[in-house]
A and B are shown apart, each in its own frame.
Chain A
Amino acid sequence: GENVEQHPSTLSVQEGDSAVIKCTYSDSASNYFPWYKQELGKRPQLIIDIRSNVGEKKDQRIAVTLNKTAKHFSLHITETQPEDSAVYFCAASWAKYIFGTGTRLKVLA
């Protein structure tokens, strides 16, 4: 069936360094790719998204890139801060809305 793979599952970086999280999707019909941050026991919060007609999108310290041919998309966080520590999920959407397996990011002060 359709699935979204996400790597790494955990990531530790020093404050100020960059963090990169990668996702691969299986269904070529996917046309919308959001990224979420989730606090424990709370709803996911959208941090950035990209549509299939765009290759890259940036919002301050956060950027997302999409390679439709390879079915890959990635989240890039620059100048990481301790408050960026959280669980991040990618998702791929068409008729469905499928989440990746999640990445626990720790930013070390």
Chain B
Amino acid sequence: GAVVSQHPSWVICKSGTSVKIECRSLDFQATTMFWYRQFPKQSLMLMATSNEGSKATYEQGVEKDKFLINHASLTLSTLTVTSAHPEDSSFYICSARGGQNTEAFFGQGTRLTVV
């Protein structure tokens, strides 16, 4: 299958700082990327859907000013957690697909710990 690379795999940051997570499709053009967060023993909760060149569509309850998503190219999307707080600690994972009705390929995830 296609390869999606997500970095960093884990990050520890101080409360109040910002963290940027990158999601790259290495061998295909990703017209759509999805960002999820996953708490322990829970499902993947969709945060936002990002189409290349467009503003991201955020799910209800997700603060767009706190979770900044940029999808400036067909191979790269970034999620910036601004002014992080301990409750933002979670597993964040991206996925990318080349077209609707097709499989989305997942990055390896980023474990964020805010102290």
Contact = CB atoms under 8 A, between A and B. Distances in A.
A: interface residue count bin? 20 to 34
Interface in A71-109: 89, 93-102
A97 B34 contact: yes
B: interface residue count bin? 20 to 34
Interface string A45-59: 010010110000000
A103 to B, nearest CB: 10
A16 interface: no
A51 B46 CA distance: 21
Nearest to B10: A41
Contact of B107 (A43, A52, A89, A97): A43
Interface string B87-115: 00001010101001111101111010000
A96 B46 contact: yes
B93 A102 contact: no
B40 to A, nearest CB: 9
Given A41-B91, A42-B108, A97-B95, A31 B44 contact: no
B77 interface: no
Interface of A: 1, 31-32, 34, 41-44, 46, 49, 51-52, 89, 93-102
8 contacts: A32-B101, A44-B44, A49-B103, A52-B101, A95-B32, A95-B49, A97-B95, A99-B45
